[in-house]
Structure formats: C-alpha cells, structure tokens
Homo-oligomer: A and B are copies of this chain.
C-alpha cells in the first residue's frame, strides 16, 4: 500500500509550518521541515549553513548570471546538485512511512508516486505581516519587504524546478486561507480530510 503523504506549500507568514506541526502531532506521524536540510547535508557532505544559503537562492537578482556560471562539465550548478540530493532525501522519507513534508517542491515530486495530498496555505498580506512580527520579531527590514522577498524566493525556486506555477490552484488538492479559517481551523480541516482518506474521486 502506498504511504499517505501530506505536502504543505505556504506563503511566508501564513502559519503553514505551525499547521503542519499541529497536524503531525494530531495524526501521530512524522513531520519534516528543517530535518530535510540536515539529511541533505549528510548525503552531500556539505555544511548545513551552506545549504541554507543555497536554498531558494535562485531568486536572487543575479538569477540569470547564476544560471550560466559555476557549472560543471554537465552544466549543473551547485543548486542543481543540492536539488538532486534533496529530491532523493524526500523520496526516501516518503517511502519510509506516512508523513507531512513542508515546502521543497515535495508536492510536485511525490504526487504521482504516493497517495499525496497537496496543500497550500495562504493569508492576506496584512495578516501575514502581523504574524511575522509576532513570530520572528522586528528586523532592520520592513515586514513588507521581508514578505515580498521570501515569497519571491519560494516562487522562483518552485517554478524553476517544477515548471509549474506556485500558488496556482491547479497544482494543489486543497488551498486554505489561514487568515479567515484560523490555524486550528486549518489543522482540523486537514485532519478530517486525512480521516476521510480523500479517495472517492479516484
């Protein structure tokens, strides 16, 4: 039997990570987020902080320069190598047991291989600004700039590797507005979808 996997993509500040954690606890299944970086570090031999800076770095202003520089003889850059290793890490985790995976294009990678529920969490800009101030505190950058920047990176990373549009309904099974539904509300909805097994359409 295929493992049941929930992948959660999310806008920055929408609470997608918190929903994932709450849900994992409720369903008593593993939850993978930063662990994927640790595992990628172990597989690749590269240091975690280095991987962290490389993650989503595609969206830097120098994307185009980056695309053509620092490539090996097969045309692969460091980010492509990391992508391949991380992809293997995600495949391995999904093969191990039912689980929840946050971000990292897991929806795209796992949809055809597993019994996969592709979730997207979003919220209004104002609510997300409020939330990142509450959760991450103030920094020298305005909350608006932080939000726009982070969303831009996630979007660029996702679209580069999947050739799908980030946040477009057609790439997800369920999209929830955490601003209107609440974090607990979203967790409850996903728990009920899990219990119902989201299968009767197939």
Contacts and interface: CB of A to CB of B under 8 A. Distances in A.
Could you say which interface size class chain A belongs to?
A: 20 to 34
Nearest to A174: B176
B200 A180 contact: no
B182 A177 contact: no
For this chain, the copies found in one complex come to 2
With a 10 A CB-CB cut-off, give which of A124, A167, A180 has the most chain B CB atoms.
A180
A28 interface: no
A175 B18 CA distance: 20
20 contacts: A169-B169, A169-B175, A169-B177, A172-B175, A172-B177, A173-B177, A174-B175, A178-B201, A179-B201, A180-B202, A181-B198, A181-B201, A182-B198, A182-B200, A182-B201, A183-B200, A184-B201, A189-B189, A189-B196, A192-B192
A174 B122 CA distance: 10
Contacts of A176: 173-174
Given A169-B122, A192-B188, A201 B174 contact: no
A167 to B, nearest CB: 6
A153 B188 CA distance: 35
A174 B173 contact: no
Given A172-B177, A182-B200, A189-B189, 5 more contacts: A174-B174, A180-B198, A180-B202, A183-B201, A189-B192
